[in-house]
Structures are given as C-alpha cells and as structure tokens.
Amino acid sequence: MTSSSPADGRAGIDAALVRRLIASQFPQWSHLSVTPVEVDGWDNRTYRLGETMTVRLPTAEHYVPAVAKENRWLPVLAPSLPVPVPPIVARGVPGEGYPYDWSVRGWLDGDVAHPERIDDMPRFAESVAEFLLALWTIDPTGGPPAGAHSFHRGGPPAHYDDETRGALATLAGRVDTDRAAGVWDAALRAAWRGRPVWFHGDIAANNLLVRDGKLAAVIDFGTSGVGDPACDLVIAWTMFTGDSREAFRRALTSSPS
C-alpha cells in the first residue's frame, strides 16, 4: 500500500485509515477487527468490521452521491425485495485525511456469483429476474431520477453517443463497425415509453451473492435510480447463455406485472 493521500483514490485507502475513522467517529466499534474483503469493487473500497459489519469508502468524489442515496433508499426498498440487500448501520463523515462521506453496513453472508458456485443456472437466472421484477414494481415516488449519480444508467443512451462513436472509430478494421453502428443506432431509437421505475443499475456477478448454490443477496446499489430498467438486463449477455438466458427472458416476460 502506498502513502498517497486518500484524495488520490484507491491507493490512499487502507485498513489503517479505516481504523482511525472508526476510532474517531464510532469509538464503540474501535475494538473490532478491520480486514479487506476478498472481492472488492472499483467505485468503493470495502472492509469487514468485526463479524457483522462492513465499512464502505468511495474512492473518488463522483462516487460520493451514492452514500446518501443508498442510506436514504435501501431501507425503503428492502422490505419489498425477495432477497436481502445491504442493511444501513451508520454514516461516516470526512476525517483523518479522508475527504468524503462513507458508510457502515451490515455484513451479508455469501460468495460472488461465479458459475461454479451456482447449482442450477436457469433457476438462478429466474431468481435474478424475480428480484428485478420486485424492484421494478416498488413505488418510485420521490426516487432519484437517472442522472450523473447513476452515471446516466436508466437514462437515454444518447448520453454516451460521442463515446460510442469514438470507440467505433478506434475499432475500425478490428470489428464490423458498420453492423455495430447499426446496433447502436437501433438502441438510440428504442426510447423507453413506460413509466419510470426503480432500477439497480449494475446487475452483475460480483453484485450477486450466492449461498448453497442459490441467490442469497444483491449488493451495491450505487448506480441505482428511477428511470428505464433496460440497464438491468445486461446480465442476459454478460452471465447467462443458452437455457439460462431463455429462462431469464421467460421469467421477465411471463410476469403479469
């Protein structure tokens, strides 16, 4: 671990900083161990605090809005969801050289959803679909509209048009950029015409926890918000194939909601 300032991002966040923050702001927990989690994210660094809690610290300023958003909305969403989501325990403030708000959460048992840990992939795909359907039907009144806090997930893909065109230009000669541009143009035309709904924004293997081969929890609502739920369907291509992809599609389209 380097000695960089915490403002420099990931390199400035370590267990020693977490111990100082806990000691200064939550001294009742200062006797608890602080250890890095086995699988960490990029937007935040996460440390286990004792046996029942975690500490989650944004790595840069543009990830900070997620702290207040999750603290406000996870307790609202949790009762309507079929599996647990991170319980909110406390909110920390800047200190000890660390410049951002941070959070303390309850620990959720489980392993990230690597395929070898899943006993029935089509059934797992159905469980993910059931979670999404439950999330999408929660009353969105007052929820945060898609925007910068969600990195524009849940909003019109046109926000990323310049970036996408640049990527296509870079890939010219390596992929069929004409066909890729056609797919992108179709995506731009496919505007969401339904009512805005809650979306997670990052349904991916590392944010799905499994226990005994089954979906046990969903974590990291940092890019959640209210808008177009299409962003929650990416897992159909990034994790599911064949029978599991079909099971995911069928579970979503056969719901009466």
The rounded mean pLDDT for the chain is 93
Are residues 121 and 14 part of one domain?
no
Are residues 140 and 215 part of one domain?
yes
Helix or strand run (H / E) with residue 184: helix 177-189
In a domain, 32, yes or no: yes
Other beta carbons within 10 angstroms of residue 81's beta carbon come to 17
In a domain, 175, yes or no: no
Residue 215: give its domain's CATH number: 3.90.1200.10
In a domain, 179, yes or no: no
Are residues 37 and 136 part of one domain?
no
Per-residue pLDDT tens over the stretch 87-143: 999 999 999 999 999 999 999 999 999 999 999 999 999 999 999 999 999 999 999
**Cβ(198)–Cβ(143) below 8 Å:** yes
Residue 77: give its domain's CATH number: 3.30.200.20
In a domain, 168, yes or no: no
Are residues 67 and 20 part of one domain?
yes
Region of residue 32 (left: phi > 0; alpha: psi -120 to 50; beta: else):
beta
Number of folded domains that form the chain: 2
6 or 134: which leads in pLDDT: 134
In a domain, 79, yes or no: yes
What is the pLDDT confidence band of residue 15, given thresholds at 50, 70 and 90?
very high
* CA distance linking residue 202 with residue 216, whole number of Å: 17
Q: Domain of 53?
A: 6-106
Are residues 34 and 13 part of one domain?
yes
Are residues 137 and 68 part of one domain?
no
In a domain, 225, yes or no: yes
Are residues 116 and 102 part of one domain?
no
Are residues 83 and 11 part of one domain?
yes
Are residues 88 and 136 part of one domain?
no
In a domain, 231, yes or no: yes
pTM: 0.90
Contacts of 216 (CB under 8 A, 6+ apart): 83, 84, 108, 109, 110, 209, 210
In a domain, 37, yes or no: yes
Stretch 209-232: mean pLDDT = 97
